[in-house]
Amino acid sequence: MTFYASAIATGTFGVTTYGDLTITFTPTPQVAVQIAAINDSSSLEALRSAVTPFFACVAQRVAQTTLAKFRRFEITPGKQVPGLPPGHKWEVGSPVVVREGDYTTLRGNVKLQ
């Protein structure tokens, strides 16, 4: 069987007191599954009714566990920046999540650590 699955989940962004970015998703994402090819077409209807709820469960778990929290945003440029001492990194300090029109942005002060 060849299939395509996609999910759309709504959620909210936030920032913890430690500067970590958090994402809280709604409990049930919208899932669409398209079966592109199948060897045994007699099982097509059974697969359609089973595959979509399965992927809805997977999408929900991924959203709740994998995408729930990001550590502080920091970049270690290494040797790409001439004159920057080894081991230093750029970090976004005092992050704030802002909604402007159709865009959600993360703002903060970039500082050298």
Please, are residues 8 and 30 in contact by the beta-carbon 8 Å criterion? yes
Rounded Cα–Cα distance for residues 33 and 50 (Å): 10
The structural domain count of the chain equals: 2
pLDDT value of residue 69? 60
**21: its two tokens:** 């970015």
Band (pLDDT 50/70/90 cuts) for residue 95 is confident
Res 73 pLDDT > 70: no
> Do 9 and 58 share a structural domain?
yes
Same-domain pairing of 67 and 77: no
The pLDDT of residue 37 is above 80: yes
SS3 48: helix
Distance CA 94, CA 82 (A): 27
**Quick count: other Cβ atoms within 10 Å of Cβ 84?**
15
Q: Is the domain of 59 the same as that of 77?
A: no
Q: Are 21 and 95 spatial neighbours (Cβ–Cβ below 8 Å)?
A: yes
Q: Which residues pair with 105 in a beta bridge?
A: 98
Q: 90 and 66 in one domain?
A: no
pLDDT band of residue 78 (cuts 50, 70, 90) is low
Q: How far apart are CA 73 and CA 71, in angstroms?
A: 6
- Which structure tokens are listed for 42? 């007699």
Is pTM beyond 0.75? Reply is no
The domain in which residue 58 lies consists of: 1-71
- SS3 category, 53: helix
Q: 91 and 64 share a domain?
A: no
Q: Are residues 78 and 104 in the same domain?
A: yes
